[in-house]
Amino acid sequence: MIRQTSGTEPESHPQVVSMGTQTMLRGMAIMMVILGHSLALIIGDLAFGQQIAASIAAKFTAPCVFFFVFLIGYGQGVKKHRLSKPQLIQRVRTVLYPYLFWASLSFLLYIILKDPYWYPFTGQDLYGGFPVLVQYLFSLSSFTVSWQYYFLALFLFFQWYAYRIRSHSERKINIWSRSFLIFHIAYLSVISFLLWFAPRESLPLGVIGAMIYPNPISWGLVFYLGFGMGMSKIPIIPYRRLFLPLYFALWAFGSFELAYMLQKWGTALVTDQFTLSGFLFALVSLSLFLRIAAMWSNRLSNGEKSWWRKWVMRFGKHSLLIFMIHLPFQWFILLALEQWSQMEFPVFLRVGILFSTGLLLPYLIGEGSKKLPIPFRKVLTGF
């Protein structure tokens, strides 16, 4: 696989992840994000049997942020000698302009529509007792207007951090990677032990989640894996035949673990991403999905007419925008439809509406904005 300028050119060298493969993997990952959030929005209202099924599906989606952080590191590692301050500033603007617009619009709608529309509003739990203007400023500056915005904080940090370490040698990057590996295993082992054996309701998972989800240290190993792989242009996690049965075994255990934790703690916070088994599952998933993404990208490059693979690629090209916009608007649309029809939809229909609107609305905004003047387009999409 060779690094290319086009997302659909063929890959001819097996050691470098091409732009086509990266875009395809982003498409897979963003679909996993939307499905995961669609399930998370309703899983607390499900019966026990339905929660088991939702936990199985949710565990499948759990490595999605792992994939994205890996791809950030990989992309920066490939071009580390070409990273520049103007490029960094431009990338920050590309994210901040639409973030400020969509987060502000979300906050305004929360204030107007109120409960239950503000369910995805993370800042409500943190700043609910403050005046509205203070809530707005604190939530905006802490990336807590909606569940997914912590990733934008990570994205901006790792763009800056990649610029700072652009001159580091491969040896120094490898030392940091090994250090983070030791720390990460110890860190997740402690969290896993507490989740399994601490008394019920003894851990403030909301506070713990607020501390670790947006914390770059929690994702440092993943970033360094990607950065080191991109810099050295060799696969850090090559695919092995053993990975497929190992993937299903870890998926099965992780689904059981998530369902158990959901019953014990009443939430999927922390348990969805930060257990030792979840980390192993994410590593194996990355190797497996990289292989699938490369295969699908090659098939499109070779002229295969697959409409659904083309859509995965399209979603990959718009992945950052979809990540930014899907919540809380998919939730708003579902509640508005249910209020209009004066009934709560069946579970499968609720998930279908959340998933389809979460993907298609941001995609259509991205495509439609191309016809707007550049200043308006930059505010809406960053480009």
Q: What is the pLDDT of residue 9?
A: 40
Binned average pLDDT, 10 residues per bin, the chain of 383 residues: 38 61 94 95 84 91 95 90 85 92 95 90 82 92 91 94 90 91 93 92 82 91 92 66 90 93 86 91 92 90 87 94 94 95 92 96 92 90 84
Q: What is the pLDDT of residue 139?
A: 92
Query: Inter-axis angle of helices 64-78 and 276-301, to 10 degrees?
Result: 60
The pTM of the full predicted model, rounded to 2 decimals, is: 0.91
Return the exposure string of 214-237: e unless at least 16 CB atoms fall within 10 Å of the residue's CB, then b: beeebbbbbbbbbbbbbbbeebbe
Please answer whether residues 76 and 157 qualify as being in contact, where contact means their C-beta atoms are separated by less than 8 angstroms: no
Conformation bin of residue 320: beta by default, left when phi > 0, alpha when psi is -120 to 50: alpha
Query: Inter-axis angle of helices 85-113 and 149-164, to 10 degrees?
Result: 170
**Distance (Å, rounded) from C-alpha 172 to C-alpha 226?**
15
Q: What is the pLDDT of residue 6?
A: 41
Q: What is the pLDDT of residue 184?
A: 93
H/E stretch holding 71 reads: helix 64-78
**Distance (Å, rounded) from C-alpha 150 to C-alpha 215?**
9
**Distance (Å, rounded) from C-alpha 52 to C-alpha 259?**
6
Strand, coil or helix: 351 = helix
**Distance (Å, rounded) from C-alpha 362 to C-alpha 326?**
6
